[in-house]
Structure 1
Amino acid sequence: MAQSKGANIAESVKAIAEPIAESFGVRIWDVRFLKEGAEWYLRIFIDKDGGVDINDCENVSRGVDPLLDEKDFISQNYILEVSSPGLERELVRDEHFEEYVGKDIKVRLIRPIEGLGKEFCGVLKAFADGELTVEDYSGENQVTVSKKDTAWVKADDFDI
């Protein structure tokens, strides 16, 4: 499947931003380049153990911005935003799912599963080969779904 232009730009930005983020003790969680209304946004989500603060976001933004200007590979005018992925962070990359095995997640499916519906919560018990296994909170039921059949999967970290 071909990647969209926004996804290609996001991957290029991630490659530029990762060493800068690491130099400030944070990691890149995700990068998104998308249009909302008339505006283009380049969103870089950063994270670290214990969470990020405004100084982390500012440091990464100030480090990445001049390099993006220098490389000049984004033809659209855009707004650069650097932030935390938040408590309900969306799990997108395989490494996100691997990191969240054993933790609470929320899942929204593209199409409902009979007896389960379209949206459910539980503990991510396993992730392998693009499939996630989620156990309900009672521990009595498990379902395995393909990552590509999900509309989104989010961390459910409200007990932090």
Structure 2
Amino acid sequence: MAAKNIEESVELMVQELLTGQDVIELVDVEYVKEYTDYYLRVYIDKEGGIDIEDCQELSEKLEVMLDEKDIIPDAYILEVSSPGIDRVLRKPRDLEREQGKAVDVTLYAPMDGKKNLTGVLTGFDGEKFTLDDEITIELSKAAQIRLHIDF
């Protein structure tokens, strides 16, 4: 099964496990190979942030479901965690939810001589997003969009 299909299947499993509670939200699922190991990463969040107990509880339930369904052919490491304060915005719902927040954008190719942009996310129509009400970028041209963090 391809990584994208595994991610989609696991996303459905996690949503099933979270059904009936409105507190914890699934942010993202990622299945990647790093060096010789495969990682299945599930990112969750809730108002005020998640804690280790939230991660452990979902991890234990998901582990049982994954063992039952046996959709992942390779040995893997399951990680359930917070997306972090500088979370990557991957899905349309991320771009809709984070309107009005500052983001860092990395483009595949330079736009007006720049590959890295920072601005406030002020619009998203499903295919393009807008920074600072003036720069419109096709989603397919963005290599990464991440919440901006000032240190």
- Aligned counterpart, 1:142: 134
CA contact (8 A) 1:134 1:142 kept: yes
Does the 8 Å contact 1:110/1:151 carry over to 2?
A: yes
**Separation in 1, partners of 2:150, 2:66:** 35
How far off its partner does 1:22 sit? 4.4
2:60 to 55, 59, 62: 62
Q: Decide whether the 8 Å contact of 2:92 with 2:126 is kept in 1.
A: no
Name the counterpart of 2:144.
Answer: 152
From the superposition, tell whether residues 83 and 22 of structure 1 become closer, same or farther in structure 2 (CA, over 3 Å): farther
- Over the matched positions of the two proteins, sequence identity in percent amounts to 36
- Select which of 1, 5, 10 maps to 2:7: 10
1:46 aligns to what? Answer: 44
SS of match in other structure, 1:8? helix
How far is 1:66 from its partner?
0.4
Distance 2:19 2:59 in 1: 13
- Letter of the 2:75 counterpart: N
Q: What is the distance in 1 between the residues matched to 2:149 and 2:35?
A: 30
2:98 alignment counterpart: 100
For normalisation by structure 2, the TM-score amounts to: 0.93
| Structural RMSD (CA) | 1.7
Whole-angstrom distance in 2 between the partners of 1:158 and 1:23: 36
The one-letter amino acid paired with 1:156 is H
Distance in structure 2 (CA, Å) of the matches to 1:130 and 1:15: 24
Shift of 1:19: 2.6
Q: Is it true that 1:127 corresponds to 2:119 in the alignment? A: no
Q: Please list every run of at least 4 consecutive aligned residues from structure 1 whose deviation after the TM superposition is greater than 2 angstroms.
A: 21-25
**Once structures 1 and 2 are overlaid, which stretch shifts more, 148-157 or 87-96?**
148-157
Give unpaired runs (5+ residues) of structure 2.
Answer: none
Between the two proteins, the alignment pairs up a number of residues equal to 150
Work out the CA distance in 2 between the residues paired with 1:157 and 1:31: 22
Match of 2:24 in 1: 26
Provide structure 1 residue ranges, at least 5 long, that are not aligned to the other structure.
136-140
Q: Report the TM-score when normalising by structure 1.
A: 0.88
**Is the 8 Å Cα contact of residues 27 and 47 (structure 1) preserved in structure 2?**
yes
Measure the CA separation in 2 of the matches of 1:75 and 1:149. 33
Q: Secondary structure at the match of 2:50?
A: coil
